[in-house]
């Protein structure tokens, strides 16, 4: 796929965190005004809203970035709705796109789809070798069913869709509301809250031993758009940075970058989540030339600066 100036692209979730970076990446390539359906206008859980979206946008490419997401706490509190909403949105969207003859759909999975004890680094071939980590299994499995649909539709209908597996994302514009935030914005908010309140301790969930890999949302968007341009198979492909860090080291780095001089304490009565996460990213580079560019520490500093500015302006979740 090339010639973005002539493309009609729908980015579901384009008004959200990752979606906003995807829209920027498309605009930078000359794509004219990607169509961003807002949930108030198109409730993608409803099949009739998807049909109306396709009537209105008439796309030749759909990048499906809309999702219901959250951290460990949100996944534990809403497993049913996380499963239902993520599965139903994707299933109905791809079926409608196939029937309408939309030439290509890009589907975004999640690192949460991998088995809890998959060998590290996670390779795409290990995706079906066990059950996901329990706290986010409903979300991960709902997303993984879209891979099944993608492969089944290619086999039966010859339909062109691709399935990408981004690792944990972060960056400016992330969600800092504790009800839905992931680990990086949650830690940044905790540290800055404590700093502003004059507190000397921040308490974090778990024991700090799990490892994670993080990908800046701008890098993820670049990988997604490259795959839309250059990749046309239904084999899943990881998107990551290859940089693994313990949660304890992450918390220490965030505290240092924020200038917090207090103590980081751990609450082992709270869940750790998956023991380790790091992706093998060799396929993304080989198949469509993607390699992450931003170092974690640089991206954290950028995110902290953005969040401080948002707080000062009264726009961030406080």
Active site members: 139
Listing from the earlier edge strand, what are the strands of the sheet with 168-170?
168-170, 211-216, 244-246
In the block, residue with structure tokens 């969600």: 175
Q: Is the peptide bond before 265 cis (omega within 30 degrees of 0)?
A: no
DSSP-derived letter for residue 161 is E
Q: How far apart are CA 201 and CA 168, in angstroms?
A: 26
Among 75, 73, 71, residue whose Cα is nearest residue 85: 75
Spatial separation of the C-alpha atoms in residues 73 and 25, rounded to whole Å = 31
Computed on alpha carbons and rounded to an integer, the radius of gyration of the chain in Å comes to 19
Distances (CA, A) of 218 to 28, 54, 310: 12, 27, 19
């Amino acid at each position: 796929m090339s010639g973005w100036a002539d493309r009609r692209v729908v980015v579901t979730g384009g008004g959200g965190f990752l979606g906003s970076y995807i829209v920027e990446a498309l605009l930078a390539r000359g794509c004219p005004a990607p169509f961003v359906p807002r949930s108030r206008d198109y409730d993608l859980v409803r099949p009739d809203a998807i049909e109306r979206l396709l009537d209105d946008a008439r796309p030749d490419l759909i990048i499906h970035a809309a999702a219901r997401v959250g951290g460990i706490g949100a996944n534990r509190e809403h497993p049913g709705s996380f499963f239902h909403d993520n599965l139903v949105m994707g299933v109905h969207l791809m079926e409608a796109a196939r029937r309408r003859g939309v030439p290509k759909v890009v589907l975004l999975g999640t690192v949460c789809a991998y088995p809890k004890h998959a060998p590290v680094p996670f390779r795409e071939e290990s995706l079906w070798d066990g059950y996901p980590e329990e706290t986010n299994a409903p979300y991960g499995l709902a997303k993984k069913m879209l891979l099944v649909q993608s492969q089944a539709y290619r086999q039966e209908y010859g339909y062109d869709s691709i399935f990408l597996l981004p690792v944990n994302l972060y960056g400016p514009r992330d969600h800092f509301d504790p009800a839905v935030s992931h680990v990086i914005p949650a830690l940044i908010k905790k540290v800055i809250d404590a700093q502003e309140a004059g507190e000397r301790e921040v308490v974090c969930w778990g024991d700090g031993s799990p490892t994670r890999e993080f990908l800046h949302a701008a890098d993820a968007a670049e990988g997604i758009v490259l795959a839309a341009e250059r990749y046309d198979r239904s084999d899943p492909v990881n998107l990551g940075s290859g940089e693994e860090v313990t949660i304890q080291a992450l918390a220490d780095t965030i505290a240092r970058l924020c200038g917090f001089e207090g103590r980081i304490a751990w609450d082992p009565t709270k869940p750790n989540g998956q023991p380790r996460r790091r992706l093998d990213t060799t396929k993304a580079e080989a198949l469509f030339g993607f390699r992450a560019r931003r170092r974690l520490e640089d991206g954290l500093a950028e995110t902290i600066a953005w969040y401080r500015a948002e707080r000062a302006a009264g726009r961030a979740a406080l």
